[in-house]
Amino acid sequence: EEGGALEFDMVGIDAAIANAFRRILLAEVPTMAVEKVFVYNNTSIVQDEILAHRLGLIPIRADPRLFEYRNQGDEEGTEIDTLQFQLKIKCSRNPQAAKDSSDPNELYLNHKVYSKHMTWVPLGNQTDLFPDADFQPVHDDVLIALLRPGQEIDVLMHCVKGIGKDHAKFSPVATASYRLLPDITLLQPIEDEAAEMLQKCFSPGVIEIQNVKGKKMARVANARLDTFSREVFRHEGLKNLVRLARVRNHYIFSVESTGILPPDVLVSEAIKILMGKCQRFLNELDSVPME
């Protein structure tokens, strides 16, 4: 596990369940993202709808489990389902710039609009509900727009809870994927030059050369690192000596989070969502009388 990405192994489940987890991680774990943008003033060259689209894609560090879904048709939004952010920025000329400088960083103030300029505006009793939480975008340095002197952006944003199935901005993972554990077997002992060539055919670390009784023998050290490029089948001499397969029930999942929730929390949430779906149908089965 490192830097927002988690790699873990699941042994003994079937492809259907593994795929179900992957699909849920991508599309059904809810997050908060900007949905409605109220534009009070936008004199920049970025069009309103493009600006709104960009703002929607910025990941917001807010635990979606603390919020509810907004009811359909509810335009205003209450404090339990909406987070309000404000972005108010105006670009001006820098009076202290040198006369002949052409660097925009020196000439203008506030000409780059970053996500750190987004400020949280608490609604209703949100200051009491979340006293020490500070809602802000996950990354401070996402460039939203560029301005020149005299241009300004003044927008109010409403963040709601949603799922990736509705719009990809609600997806909590950068990506989630799985692969099967490779199974490399050497059908015959391979030595000397053939061993060297074999080692080059696979990713580094997969095959290691050991010195057995003076001769160099090849041995499969760590099949997990292999990327399955099948280079070995291009060589006539080595083609028949190696069998490439996959271990059937051993899945290596790799989950990369966008930073809203840590990846292990995402996996737990995904499993709970699958359980919730089953529970929903069980309840319906029990409540509707079957003829």
Partner 1 sequence: VQADGTDGNCVTFVLHDEDHTLGNALRYMVMKNPDVEFCGYCITHPSESKINFRIQTRGGLPAVEPFRKGLNDLMGVCQHVLNTFERSMKEYRAQR
Distance CA 52, CA 39 (A): 9
Nearer to partner 1, 29 or 60 (CB): 29
State yes or no: residue 97 binds partner 1 (CB under 8 A): no
Distance CA 27, CA 256 (A): 14
Of 126, 30, 7, the closest CA to residue 78 belongs to 126
Site residues for partner 1, 180-199, by CB under 8 A, read: none
Distance CA 249, CA 243 (A): 18
Which residue from 3, 16, 103, 132 is in contact with partner 1, where contact means CB under 8 A? Answer: 16
Mark 223-262 with x for binding to partner 1 (rule: CB under 8 A) and - for no binding: ----------------------------------------
Which residue from 7, 13, 98, 230 is in contact with partner 1, where contact means CB under 8 A? Answer: 13
**Distant-in-sequence, close-in-space partners of 50: CB < 8 Å, separation ≥ 6:** none
Nearer to partner 1, 12 or 214 (CB): 12
Mark 25-64 with x for binding to partner 1 (rule: CB under 8 A) and - for no binding: --xx------------------------------------
Three-class secondary structure of residue 65 per DSSP: helix
Size of the site for partner 1 (CB under 8 A): 30
Q: Which region among 17-25, 51-59, 149-157, 240-248 touches partner 1 (by CB under 8 A)?
A: 17-25
Report, in Å, the least distance between residue 171 CB and partner 1.
Answer: 14
Nearer to partner 1, 174 or 274 (CB): 274
The rounded Cα 32 to chain-centroid distance in angstroms is 14
Report, in Å, the least distance between residue 253 CB and partner 1.
Answer: 10
Nearer to partner 1, 24 or 160 (CB): 24
Query: Please, what sign has the CA dihedral across residues 224, 227, 229, 235?
Result: negative
State yes or no: residue 284 binds partner 1 (CB under 8 A): yes
Cβ proximity of 88 and 154 under 8 Å: yes
Joined tokens for residue 171: 């997806």
Site residues for partner 1, 261-280, by CB under 8 A, read: 264, 267-268, 271-272, 274-275, 277-279
Report, in Å, the least distance between residue 286 CB and partner 1.
Answer: 9
2-32 burial, b at 16+ Cβ within 10 Å, e below that, comes to eebebeeeeeeeeeeebebbbebbbbbbbbb
Joined tokens for residue 126: 């949100």
Q: What is the DSSP string of 159-203?
A: EEEE-TTT-GGG--EEEEEEEEEEEEEESS--BHHHHHHHHHHSP
Q: In the chain, which residue ranges form alpha helices assigned H by DSSP?
A: 15-27, 48-57, 104-107, 126-129, 192-201, 263-287
Report, in Å, the least distance between residue 36 CB and partner 1.
Answer: 24
**Residues at the interface with partner 1 (CB under 8 A):** 1, 8, 10, 13-14, 16-17, 19-20, 23-24, 27-28, 264, 267-268, 271-272, 274-275, 277-279, 281-282, 284-285, 288, 290-291
